[in-house]
Structure 1
Amino acid sequence: MSASKLFNFILFSLISLPAISFSQANQFRETLRHTEEISHEFPDSAFKLLKDLYPKVQKAEDIMSAGICLQQMGEVCFKLGHYAQSFDFYNQADQIFRKQNNKLLLARNLNGVGLVYYYNQQKQRAREQYNQALIIFSRLNNQEGLAQTYSRLGHLYEKEKKPDSAFVFQRMALAYISKTNRTNEIAKIYENIGSIHEDLARYDSAEYYFTKSLALYKQVNNQQACIEVINNLGDILRKTGKPAAALLKSREALKLSISKNDLYGKTSALRDISKAFNLLNRNDSAYYYLELSRDVSNVLYSTEGTRQTAFLQVLYDFEKKNREIKDLENISHTNSVITAATIIIIALLVILGWVIIGRQRLKLKDQKSLSEHKDRLYENEKKLMEIALENQRLQEENLTQLLNSKSAELSNHILNLVQKNQVLEELKNKLMNIIKDDKRDHKKHLQQIIHQINHSFSQEQYWKSFTGIFEQVHQSFFDNLKKHSEDLTANDIRLLSLLKLNLPPKDTATLLGISPESLRVSRYRLKKKLNIPENESLTSFIHSLKTV
């Protein structure tokens, strides 16, 4: 086995974690389904089960079950009014669902967090949570989740005194939930719509939706919800001037709350009965039932206080146990890390020793081969350098010969031009003298000769040949000139070229076919075009230009 394979095997053996069995995961999920069912009626019992289950799923490293467990504990704490602890459990579940990328559970958790914000009077934060949940449910096309979220948004707008928006969201919730078989949720939405109508004093519509809600609750035998709806119907009857009918509804709610031992429902029913008797002008009975309501309320507060104390004790035990578990896990983790680190260090030292010995042998062998290779490489580079230097010397000689040849050719060309123009100048002067004579019969013919001579001064083919040779000798001269001025004419460039060659003024004037005076004027104008300072000569400027 190679060193790298040995190291990988040791590392894999140390970091491999035991995987949870499929049957164990199913057992955890089944327990969580049970706790969710009983949490509606027996939240205390559900929390105790969840408290015992949570360390087990942690030990088994069932991350998803741990998240669901935390989420359900958040729901139970919310139902019992412990909002801070509920928020903490929901946040822990949120981190797990996001890390596991479980969108469905994350959206449901967001709805739970939104409800906590709502009951803490943070409506804007609640709306933000609902909107995030809505986006996820829409992408998952989850009808039930969309219905629940729309319903909660509708309830939020109802409490903000925005009935139109509340109706819109509740009806959207009803449209989605109607596609499922969730009778309880459909009944709850009808109850919410009835509540909005009641706030708007639309008592007939409110009674209609409360009645539909009650029928559905009875269909699924949700007696807890029935108590609240029956009390709502009693309120409607009292508000519409039907106290006798309201009294019957309140008595029905009282009977049902007694059978369910629902102290909240019992208190509300007794209070509503008192109100009905008051409307019937039976004040003795009204007072009697009001006192009964107060007695039940005192019992409720006492029972609730005992219950909250017991729950807080359970919560404290849970947190204490969690801290102990975390401390043990930290100690265990530290010991595991130390053991693993020790084994890895020993293994690395063995591997390192083996590698060092092997590398030392290879190093000696490589050094010998490298030394021989360097010697050969040095000899080859030396030969190549000698060849390159010889080639460079030959190229420089060729370039020097070529430049000398071009310079000689340029000088000869200029000399020929000067000689030609001198001859032409002499001929021109002689002919001018002939014209000045009074022999008018030769004047026309002589003028034609002068015209031909003048024309020969401006022939371009000589200048083209001159320019070609000049550019070979003085490279980039014309380009550098154009950087100083874009307005140079062909005559300006010719004059500058001749000045670059250091020709005498007389020869320069002859080549250009102008007088020495005209040459001075051209030089002055050219200096202005090139923006040359007055204290600098044109010749110095020309020779300062780079031509390579």
Structure 2
Amino acid sequence: MFSKLFLLYLFIFFNTAQLISQEAVKFDVAKDSIDLVFIRLNEHLKSELKSSDARTIATAHLKLGVFCQENEVYSEAINQFNKAILLLGKDNHESLFLELVNRLGIVHLQLKNYKAAEHYFRIGLEEALLQKNKTQLAYAKSNLGTSFEKQQRYDEALKFQKESIELYSALKDAEGVSIVYENIGSVYEDLEQYQKALGYFQKSLQYHTSTTDARFANILNNLGDVYRKSKSCKEGLQYTQKALEISKILGHAHEEASSHKDLAENFECMGNYALAVTHLNEFIRIDKENKRVQNANQGRALQIIYDTKEKESQIQWLLQNSKIDRAQKAILMVSVVCFFIFILLGYTYVKKKRIQTEKETKYKQQLLQVELSKKHLEEENLQREVAVKNASLSRYSLYISQKNKMLADFALTLKNSLDRNNIDLKRKLKALIKEIDFNLSQEQEWGEFMVLFQETHPAYQNQINSKALEVLSPAEFRLSILLRLGLSSKEIASILRLTPDSVRVSRYRLRKKLPITSKEDLTAFLRSI
């Protein structure tokens, strides 16, 4: 429970510190020294540019690039280093070129551009081999191993770090060995092999020659961190407290903040949450101040670079301006004349274009009016034609109904006459009834009716079939047509030769197959199609 609360506290304070660090920065830290250093370096570069010695100019660019790198103006640092390399040329195999490519690799490492860093460190490795410079070769291998570590390519990282140790050992460079041992310890720490990491950090401490510098404090912090991760919190506490003491003596704020952060985690591991919170607050305070100072220095450096470049640009502009003043006046006069000519031509063109556009618009309006009149006439003719055909359909339906009724009545009368005993009469009447029934069964009149309906309502059949929930039978389709024409159930019964009850059943079945509610009128729905 306490651990969860502490982790929540950590999260809140870390985010708070990050937000605070983004506030406006006051440039009050080492303001004068940054100004003076940059001005001195820039003046040195300008004086060297007057010479023809590429190496001295490249060295000036290197110094200015280092200044930008230290103040975290990385883009300008890369620019200065690349300018120096271009001056030297890629085929110039000397120590200055080697230092420049290593610097570029370190800058990209700081920017977390690990592939770019690897590229420059490989160039440094090849250059060190060509120059047979074992110190620089060991340095390049160590840097290359670090770039692999950042890319989580741990096997390659360990390979190059161990090769670097062999070279430093042969050179009897204790500090180089110490640095590489610390790098190897960092790899094993990433791999969570804490015992191995502990061993290498201890070796790094053993080979480190000074006990009062920032690296010594950093190694102690690493040892304390590994002990804590190994759950040996008390042992780790001793190293971290020692690191804090040294960083305070040195006034090294970054290591001091790191020590407070590690102490907070150590005390949290030991269950002493009060001290953990105390050190966490101290870490946040120092880290906030570090970021303020860092942002101040970076901002000041950027401002100085910008101001210097702006002043140089203004000077160049003034010098150039004095040489071309008369030419500019002449160009200005020509430009004024050309401008007025252009205005005149433009006015003439616009006026002609406007007149032409007005004529075209008027003509188009006339054409549109004629087209609209034509459309209105066509629409009126179509409406009259539909009205005439609807009337014809109604008359035709009534005619079929009356004809069918007459024939049905006639057939009924004849059937009743069959009850008489006259044999010859019966024979003739049977033939006549057969002929009447045959005429009643003919589909010719219905076919003519359907042709007329399709001409009047060409899309009706496709629309009702697409809306129907089930496939309509031919009889149901005919019923829907007669209902759409507004015929009564009695008239429909006569046309389809059905009883009124059968018509009601058919209407019900048709309704079930259509997407309408019980309250919706069937005839109105069919007319909407």
Q: CA deviation at 1:196?
A: 1.0
Which of residues 133, 150, 161 is equivalent to 1:142? 133
**Are 1:226 and 2:216 an aligned pair?**
yes
Per-residue CA deviation, residues 42-74 of structure 1 (Å, 9 max, x unaligned), is 988765543342223233444322212212332
Answer yes or no: is the 8 Å Cα contact 2:212–2:250 preserved in 1: no
Q: CA deviation at 1:85?
A: 1.0
Q: What is residue 247 of structure 1 aligned with on the other side? A: 237
Q: CA deviation at 1:233?
A: 0.6
Report 1:215-364 matches (<5 A): 215-217=206-208, 219-220=209-210, 223-320=213-310, 323=313
Q: 1:71, 1:331 → 2: CA distance?
A: 32
**Are 1:193 and 2:189 an aligned pair?**
no
Q: What is residue 104 of structure 1 aligned with on the other side? A: 95
TM-aligned CA distance change 1:305 to 1:171, over 3 Å: same
Report 1:380-419 matches (<5 A): none
Per-residue CA deviation, residues 313-347 of structure 1 (Å, 9 max, x unaligned), is 3323443455467679989999xxxxxxxxxxxxx
Answer yes or no: is the 8 Å Cα contact 2:62–2:84 preserved in 1: yes
- Residue aligned with 1:290, SS: helix
Q: CA deviation at 1:231?
A: 0.8
Q: 2:322, 2:202 → 1: CA distance?
A: 60
Answer yes or no: is the 8 Å Cα contact 2:93–2:127 preserved in 1: no
**Are 1:203 and 2:165 an aligned pair?**
no
Q: CA deviation at 1:230?
A: 1.1
Amino acid of the residue matched to residue 79 of structure 1? E
Which of residues 70, 73, 84 is equivalent to 2:75? 84
Give the number of equivalent residue pairs.
292
Gaps of 5+ in 2: 1-32, 325-529
Q: 2:262, 2:238 → 1: CA distance?
A: 10
Greater mean alpha carbon deviation, residues 93-102 or residues 293-302: 93-102
Per-residue CA deviation, residues 474-533 of structure 1 (Å, 9 max, x unaligned), is xxxxxxxxxxxxxxxxxxxxxxxxxxxxxxxxxxxxxxxxxxxxxxxxxxxxxxxxxxxx
Q: What is residue 525 of structure 2 aligned with on the other side? A: none
Gaps of 5+ in 1: 1-41, 335-548
Q: What is residue 123 of structure 2 aligned with on the other side? A: 132
TM-aligned CA distance change 1:81 to 1:222, over 3 Å: farther
Answer yes or no: is the 8 Å Cα contact 1:230–1:250 preserved in 2: yes
Per-residue CA deviation, residues 170-221 of structure 1 (Å, 9 max, x unaligned), is 111122223335443322111101111212222222122212222333x146
Per-residue CA deviation, residues 411-434 of structure 1 (Å, 9 max, x unaligned), is xxxxxxxxxxxxxxxxxxxxxxxx
Q: CA deviation at 1:142?
A: 0.9
**Are 1:180 and 2:171 an aligned pair?**
yes
Task: Provide the alpha-carbon RMSD of the alignment.
Answer: 3.0
Answer yes or no: is the 8 Å Cα contact 1:134–1:149 preserved in 2: yes
Q: 1:314, 1:102 → 2: CA distance?
A: 34
- TM-score, normalising length: structure 2: 0.50
Answer yes or no: is the 8 Å Cα contact 1:143–1:179 preserved in 2: no
TM-aligned CA distance change 1:132 to 1:232, over 3 Å: same
Answer yes or no: is the 8 Å Cα contact 1:197–1:206 preserved in 2: yes
TM-aligned CA distance change 1:309 to 1:95, over 3 Å: same
Q: What is residue 518 of structure 1 aligned with on the other side? A: none
Computing the radius of gyration over CA atoms, which structure comes out larger, 1 or 2?
Answer: 1
Amino acid of the residue matched to residue 207 of structure 2? L
- TM-score, normalising length: structure 1: 0.49
Amino acid of the residue matched to residue 298 of structure 1? K
Q: 1:333, 1:194 → 2: CA distance?
A: 64
TM-aligned CA distance change 1:231 to 1:331, over 3 Å: farther
Per-residue CA deviation, residues 388-417 of structure 1 (Å, 9 max, x unaligned), is xxxxxxxxxxxxxxxxxxxxxxxxxxxxxx
Amino acid of the residue matched to residue 44 of structure 2? L
Answer yes or no: is the 8 Å Cα contact 1:114–1:126 preserved in 2: yes
Q: CA deviation at 1:269?
A: 0.7
TM-aligned CA distance change 1:206 to 1:47, over 3 Å: farther
Amino acid of the residue matched to residue 283 of structure 1? Y
Q: What is residue 382 of structure 1 aligned with on the other side? A: none
Q: What is residue 381 of structure 2 aligned with on the other side? A: none
Which of residues 62, 66, 87 is equivalent to 1:71? 62
Identity %: 25
Per-residue CA deviation, residues 423-466 of structure 1 (Å, 9 max, x unaligned), is xxxxxxxxxxxxxxxxxxxxxxxxxxxxxxxxxxxxxxxxxxxx
Q: 2:211, 2:316 → 1: CA distance?
A: 43
Amino acid of the residue matched to residue 56 of structure 1? S
Q: What is residue 509 of structure 1 aligned with on the other side? A: none
Amino acid of the residue matched to residue 118 of structure 1? L
